Amino acid sequence: MKTVKGTLSIGRFEVPYRKYGDNDNVMVCVSGALQTMAIWRSVVKRFTGDLTVVIFDMPGIGRSKIISGGARITVEEQVETLHAIITETHTGGGELALAGSSWGTAIAAAYAALYPNAVQHLVLSSFGMQPNEGMRYLVERASVLYEAGDYAGGANLILELFGAQIGEGYKKQIIAQFKQLNEAHAASFYEHTANILKLGRLDEVVDLTKIKARTLIINGADDTIIDVADMYVAEKLIPDCELLLVQGVGHFLHFERPELLDDYERFLVPDSQLAISGSPA
């Protein structure tokens, strides 16, 4: 498997990325808040061969660096980062798919609306239109930990509020990540979550009707920080959109139920003729 490891200078950031495979059809994975590129490991393993898979750390996360300016990273800067990654890695002329997770779905959707002719496939997993009460409670608790300098406590908070159903391996990964969290990354995460609460509804800042990509929204029915109703609102706005609501699964989707990658494959890989297995409920 051909692998490219690089770092891009994007405005005031240095952003590391990995590119796996040499297929002209490319899937770029967009992580959620405080999620490093490591969360896409199983996706890389599953899809490289059928697609070239690109993963990266958003500014303020993982191995990325803020070279100048403050810890607050705007939505516009995140979209610009995604654009730079796509420009660098999608060079073969094939189709482009974006796969977003959690907050990464907002950035992926914003990009697909801004560059509608560039994106052919869009997967939005754990997608929400606005912060719900569960998210607000999470941010309030996280703010207390941040002010106290208890960065490692964030792992216990996540596992308590919406991570109980994930496997032990991923739980350990979350705990280790928060133990290693430095002050700069913690500040960036704090600023990010505060900014999410101020943004309001996604459809008020992103024109979802402009998205031309064939779109799949996949949410867990037991997700405590996303309202199920949001996906039905988005379905009415995005012209070519299908939904998959998975019963018995929370925010972490394929980490809770690995076989959900089968549904991603049915949607993303042209040779797969099987229908999406789930249905909204």
Q: Is the dihedral of CA 188, 190, 191, 192 positive or negative?
A: positive
- Classify residue 253 as left (phi > 0), alpha (psi -120 to 50) or beta: left
pLDDT digits (tens, 9 = 90+) for 3-58: 999 999 999 999 999 999 999 999 999 998 888 999 999 999 999 989 999 999 99
Low-confidence ranges of the chain (pLDDT < 70): 270-281
Inter-axis angle of helices 103-114 and 75-89, to 10 degrees?
70
Task: Report the C-alpha gap between 30 and 49 in whole angstroms.
Answer: 20
pTM: 0.91
Query: Residue 271: what pLDDT?
Result: 65
Q: With the CA atoms of 265, 227, 179 and 34 taken in that order, what torsion angle do they form, in degrees rounded to the nearest 10?
A: 60
Q: Which domains does the chain have, with CATH numbers?
A: 3-268 (3.40.50.1820)
Query: Residue 270: what pLDDT?
Result: 66
Query: Residue 33: what pLDDT?
Result: 82
**4 and 19 in contact (C-beta within 8 Å)?**
yes
Query: Residue 146: what pLDDT?
Result: 87
Task: Report the C-alpha gap between 272 and 51 in whole angstroms.
Answer: 13
